[in-house]
Amino acid sequence: MTAAAVWVRTGVAAVTAAFLTSIAPVPDAHAATARPVDGKALVSAADDLEDWLTHGRTYDEQRFSPLDRINAANVKDLGLAWFADLDTARGQEATPLVIDGTVYITTAWSKVKAYDALSGKLRWEYDPKVPGEAGIRVCCDVVNRGLAAWGRRLYFGTLDGRLIALDRETGRLVWSKLTVDRSKPYAITGAPRVIDGRVIIGNAGGEMGVRGYVAAYDGDDGKRLWRFYTVPDRPGNNATPHLKRAEATWKGDWWTLGGGGTVWDSMAYDPRLDLLYVGVGNGSPWNQAYRSPGGGDNLYIDSIIALKPRTGEYVWHYQTTPGDTWDFDATQHLILADLEIDGRPRAVVMQASKNGFFYVLDRATGQLISAASYVAVNWAKGIDTQSGRPLENPEARIDKTGKPFVVVPGPGGAHSWQPMAYDPRTGLVYIPAQEAGFPYVPEAHWQEAAQGFNTGIDFAAAAMPADPKVRAAVMAATRGALIAWDPISQQERWRVAFKGPWNGGVLATGGGLVFQGNAAKEFAAYDAVSGAKLWSSSVQTGVTAAPVTYSIKGEQYVAVLAGWGGIWALAPGILSEVAGPVRNVSRLLVYRLGGSAQLPPESPVTRPPLDPPATTGTPEQIAEGGRQYGRFCGGCHGDAAYAGTVLPDLRRSALIADVIKRANEDKALGDK
């Protein structure tokens, strides 16, 4: 029946009802043909060679696929099978899911899309309509890292703090739950996980000033089942044993600043031990002199925590950076593996942490087995294997000295969120690493702001100097690498050097290959044993996301999201272009042997002319403007007002110039 006939027969009331039905949550009536993803499927995901069912392919998050149709002998014949242009020109960080011939992705601004895995045809899309103002609540771009599947539904978080369930077959909304207090600067950028119908999700906001937690929701109706806080509330309000223990490790009025400790990315699950592992973020503010005057370990920031997934009960923790003052989250990718160490089998959890050390822990107890630096580190001399604590360099403790210090690695980390991979056949972990120091300058007389970064670090004072020689030296010392790491001997086996940092996540396959995209607009395959580059393809933009692989009728495919973005594309200014200027061209790219699809011609990077207005302010006004810019603007528009290519360079903005000119003419900004 046509819409006109409906109108004639039933009138306005029926049309209104139809409209309300179209936007209201609906049951999974159209999902009858979708194969349910249950606990058995997820626990045995390693045996499913056709699909990619969960974020890291398996609960152990190894990101290794046994598929070997594409291998070292024939990878030279790899070509583009199909691609899909995306409608968000911001950072693309998601790991796709592939289930029963459909590729599911999230994009920037928390949108979801489903494509036919063979042809690339768009099957459906869902836009949660995240308001633009949510972008000011995130430190590091309006990104999303992916979905989780359970039953016939998909689950994902949104930038404005919702957890949403969709019908997997149709993309229709099933339910939506707000998981955060919107009066505080929370966000969600990470992918959820599902364990026995419980949807596990954390949040972000550690740079802004929030109290971190991770929570579980019923996959059927969205009811919250438990919430685990990672840092304590005010004294007297901490009822659970783990928070009572943590309270003694904090000083001052930390709870008024939130404390940080957000669970914004990594998780893993061991079905045998029935333990959920989560990585916990930095303290808020970064500078411990303001966060916890008088010091303390500040549990459980920068920790790997094991929980019981059914109840959220604490089991154990290991803190990588006690009393952190440098933004050294422990939220980097966690991998579970069974290794033979000192002649006996050990069930371990591994992390190449942001602080520059690679940790191997007993995953039943949290005991430190070994730790070693995998890049240059100057804030600590090593890790004491008896206590598990870092042997700190006192000069790096800016919260105690009150003096600036160039710390290596800096807040970008030796390894950020980009997933690594573990190949059980080679026994190697493949790490997307980077080396970039940062001059931490304590901010004098810091006070919490209602909006923007709350770090206690003076970003204006730490800005890149204008001296060309200094800039050249800093850029030369800022680089990236793909490192093959032996977790048993704690030694590097090989390294592929990149001109710049912020390269993509990693996939290892049974074909003896390691796939990774990079900031130099390339997607490449390397020999898993030697590191030799065996194949590469230009993708016209930077790649930070991790690839996946799947199989249809015996044909192997490799899929990756491309789209330059994230914190390194925004905040570091001129350093964001160490590998050259990179445009954001957001696409889903899928490859197979013999693929012959072609990308459109690449457009050059163009910029408006640099035509700054005359300087009219006093030196004091200019310095104060620099401080305000560093705190409230530089995180998105670039250090020293030098923007990359993702967001506008305010020095080149005609709109900004016009606003300032008119404001000065009208005295709208006052005499100052």
* Residues annotated as part of the active site: 327
CA 452 to the chain's CA centroid: 19
DSSP per residue, 298-314: -TTTTEEEEEETTTTEE
Question: H-helix or E-strand containing 557?
Answer: strand 555-562
Residue 95 per-residue DSSP state:
B
Contact 454, 626 (CB under 8 A): no
| Separation CA 571–CA 453 (nearest Å) | 12
Return all residues near 309 (Cβ < 8 A) that are at least 6 apart: 195, 196, 198, 200, 216, 269, 274, 275, 276
Element of type H or E holding 13: helix 3-23
Q: Mark 450-480 as b/e (b = at least 16 C-beta within 10 Å).
A: eebbbbbbbbbbbbbeeeeeebeebbeebbb
Residue with tokens 């980077």: 434
CA distance linking residue 152 with residue 235, whole number of Å: 44
Three-class DSSP category at 40: helix
* Distances 59 to 16, 22, 191, 336, 445 between C-alpha atoms, Å: 45, 35, 13, 8, 46
Give ∠ CA 297-303-307 in degrees, rounded to 5.
125
Preceding peptide of 619 cis, ω within 30°: no
- Those residues whose C-beta lies under 8 Å from the C-beta of residue 213, and which sit 6 or more positions away, are 202, 203, 227, 228, 229, 230, 262, 263
- DSSP code at position 204: B
DSSP state of 219: T
Let me know: does 45 contact 59? Beta carbons within 8 Å. Answer: yes
Contact status, residue 516 vs residue 506, Cβ threshold 8 Å: yes
Tokens of 662: 């008119």
Q: What angle do CA 313, 319, 324 make, to 5 degrees?
A: 125
Kindly tell me the burial class for residue 313, based on how many C-beta atoms sit within 10 Å of its own C-beta (0-12, 13-18, 19 or more): middle
CA distance 657 to 613: 7
H or E, element range at 481: strand 479-486
Give the dihedral sign, CA 143/148/149/150. Answer: negative
Provide the terminal-to-terminal Cα distance of the chain, rounded to the nearest Å: 67
Compute and round to an integer the Cα radius of gyration of the chain. 25
Reading across the β-sheet that carries 368-373, which strands appear in turn? 335-341, 344-352, 357-362, 368-373
- Compute the distance between CA of residue 299 and CA of residue 127 in angstroms, rounded to an integer: 37
| Identity of residue 315 | V
Q: Which of 92, 97, 85 is nearest to 108 (CA)?
A: 92
CB neighbour class for 448 (10 Å; exposed up to 12, middle 13-18, buried from 19)? middle
CA-nearest of 631, 561, 628, 629 to 591 is 561
- Give the other-Cβ count within 10 Å of 89's Cβ: 18
* DSSP-assigned letter for residue 415: S
